[in-house]
Amino acid sequence: MPVTFGQPFKAGDWQFTTQGLVAKVDGATIPLQADEISSHRDGSARFAVLSTQLSTLQPGQSKIINLYTGAKSTSTPSVPSNPDWNLELEAQVYDTNGSITTLVAQPQADLVKQIANNTGRRLSGAVANEYTVALPFKNKATGATHPHLTARLHTRLVDGGQRIRTDVVMENTRTWTANPGNITYSFAVKRNGSTIYTQPKFTHYHHARWHKVIWTGASAEPQARVRHNMPYFMASKAIWNYDLSLSIPEAVLSDFYKQYTQAKTSQANLGPMANLMLTPAFGTTGGRPEIGPVPQWTAMYLISQDDRMKEVMLAHADAAGSVPIHYRDDSSNLPLDLDRFPNVSTWLGSSQPALPTVVNGTTIWQPDTAHQASYAYVPYLVTGDAFFQDELMYWAAWNLTAMNPAYRGAGQGLLWEDQVRGQAWTMRALGEASRIIPDTHAMKAYFQRRLSNSLEWFYQNWVVTPAADVSPMSSPVNPYDTTTVGPWQNDFWAIVMAQHAEAGEPRAMELLNWVSKFGVGRFMNEAQGFCLAKAPAYYLQLKNSSGQWIRSWSELAQVNFPGVTCNGSLEYDGYPTWSGGYAANARAMLAAVSSLNITNAATAYTLWKSKTSSMDKDFLNNPTWAIVPR
């Protein structure tokens, strides 16, 4: 039973450059290999993709895999020179004039060459060896290469190549090739001439991708279910500290899964481009399940590890692949970057060089940065799959290229020129990519530098020498409305900054202390007239009627809540009984920052929790914001 999964590690637990990692089941050592390692700032392992082999495992049997540090050893690969793979991909493309063109891709020779040359290998060891085979499609009749449709096959050989897991990724993502657009086709995967998978006719959006995992070989697909030690998972600080004491009722899980299956059924005609429960128009107002530190389905999975929630989570990570933000640079074969193209723009402002004009490019999507979810980060953490690693890089890369070059400092990739919530979510995506992709990846340093650039910019322009548009109340700046603050957006910003601070990112702790003067302070200044009940207000004015910055909590209260007296009968703002309201955003923020010993944060969290106790019951219905102090 070969098993591959992702595993985060606490800082200091595994010094992987000098120590090995040992796996044991029932006291007996079992084969283990570790790949795709990313490190903490102290040099210890932050994350690795682990592959192990269990034997004599019976149907329905559970086993605990214990991990220990030990002597460093090598894991010798076992790879046949010419695996019994023999896949052929075939696409029947429907042109706009009604004609049909047959495209094929035959990757066997490429795999054999990569094995011989030891290139393109992602996993390597005695348990699993995975190669990424990338090739274009060719016209079956003429041999001409299709300009846009490309296959990327993450091909994992286990059991010495007797079993092969192929993650077939179909991309329409090229940046600079002329005339990008939607492609309508049906699709089939064949092995030794026999069809083993079909996808009916659908329209593949421009700058989008989809995938399908296929197992082939002498042995059947291994049916293993991996459950993580979730307290340790949280303690690794790879993710916020979600409340694992919650026990989500079966009725809630089944109802949520039913909503997903209904969405899947109703969108069957979209094929791999279905949006499922994602809102295609990102700027649509109102709450929705994908918006939060992690999406609702991800929080539900982290807390329950229910198989249905895992399916929902992975399906939505897949659905995010259909959003037209996936730009792969034709020369580097990596997501589009600002090192090569410092003035490129994929969304705002003018692009230099100009991007090719999209033809036949209508999709259901209208992406933005201010309503963006964390789609693929936790899916990558739990599976270690290459598709999700690429996906989280695509989103981080698009956020950098999407901003106007004139405001982002061209190649610096600064993320300040956005709504505060947009700053938060783009900084989250950048942190996810910069920390979790392997140290050896070609884009690791690229993402790290851009994260450092933005953190330093915020620190210098908001804290050290505050710009003229920075409020003395220590509120992040919305460049489109500098005199108004949405406390809930500040909470998003602080929650993300807390994650950066826990990761030891330079300037993150200083920024968290700065933003918490407002974020925590609004819960602690009732004596100065700023009522606790008004702490989760929707929006607040930061200047008085004379156009001067407000500098005290009493003046902030007078300007925004004239005549309001703090007393026990005052109604609380922010939907205090609801798990998805501004009051819940605030609780998550106070929990996250109190874990870092921010002044008065723990006191404020305890106080606010006592005032919103009805919310705890509703967290069982939706735990998106159910973060608790570590």
Backbone dihedral region for residue 14 (phi beyond 0: left; psi -120 to 50: alpha; all else: beta): beta
- Give the pLDDT score at 20: 96
Write out the DSSP string of 412-428.
Answer: G----SS-HHHHHHHHH
Kindly report, residue by residue over 312-352, the tens digit of the pLDDT: 999 999 999 999 999 999 999 999 999 999 999 999 999 99
- Give the pLDDT score at 175: 98
- Give the pLDDT score at 286: 82
Pick 567 or 324 by higher pLDDT. 324
Kindly report, residue by residue over 236-245, the tens digit of the pLDDT: 999 999 999 9
The band of 76, judged by pLDDT with boundaries at 50, 70 and 90, is: confident
Write out the DSSP string of 310-335.
Answer: HHHHHHHHHHGGGSS---B-TTT-SB
The band of 287, judged by pLDDT with boundaries at 50, 70 and 90, is: confident
Helix (H, G, I), strand (E, B) or coil at 183: strand
Domain ranges of the chain: 2-74, 87-217
The rounded percent of the chain whose pLDDT value lies above 70 is 100
Query: What is the DSSP secondary structure assignment for residue 455, as one 8-state letter?
Result: H
Structure tokens at 35: 């790949």
Q: Is 569 a residue whose pLDDT tops 90?
A: no
Kindly report, residue by residue over 95-149, the tens digit of the pLDDT: 988 899 999 999 999 999 999 999 999 999 999 999 999 999 999 999 999 999 9
Mean pLDDT over each residue of the chain, to the nearest integer: 97
CA 36/CA 4 separation, integer angstroms: 12
Residue 210 forms beta bridges with which residues? 170
- Give the pLDDT score at 97: 84
Q: Is 18 a residue whose pLDDT tops 90?
A: yes
Q: Is 494 a residue whose pLDDT tops 90?
A: yes
Let me know: does 108 contact 161? Beta carbons within 8 Å. no
Helix (H, G, I), strand (E, B) or coil at 271: helix
Write out the DSSP string of 2-29.
Answer: EEEEEEE--TTS--TTT-EEEEEETTEE
The band of 230, judged by pLDDT with boundaries at 50, 70 and 90, is: very high
- Give the pLDDT score at 558: 97
- Give the pLDDT score at 87: 98
Let me know: does 14 contact 32? Beta carbons within 8 Å. no
- Give the pLDDT score at 442: 97
For 469, phi then psi, to 5°, come to -95, 15
Let me know: does 533 contact 525? Beta carbons within 8 Å. no
The band of 220, judged by pLDDT with boundaries at 50, 70 and 90, is: confident
Query: What mean pLDDT comes out for the span 531-536?
Result: 97
- Give the pLDDT score at 395: 98
Q: Is 459 a residue whose pLDDT tops 90?
A: yes
- Give the pLDDT score at 149: 98
For 100, phi then psi, to 5°, come to -120, 130
pTM over 0.95: yes
The rounded percent of the chain whose pLDDT value lies above 90 is 96
CA 224/CA 59 separation, integer angstroms: 10
- Give the pLDDT score at 289: 97
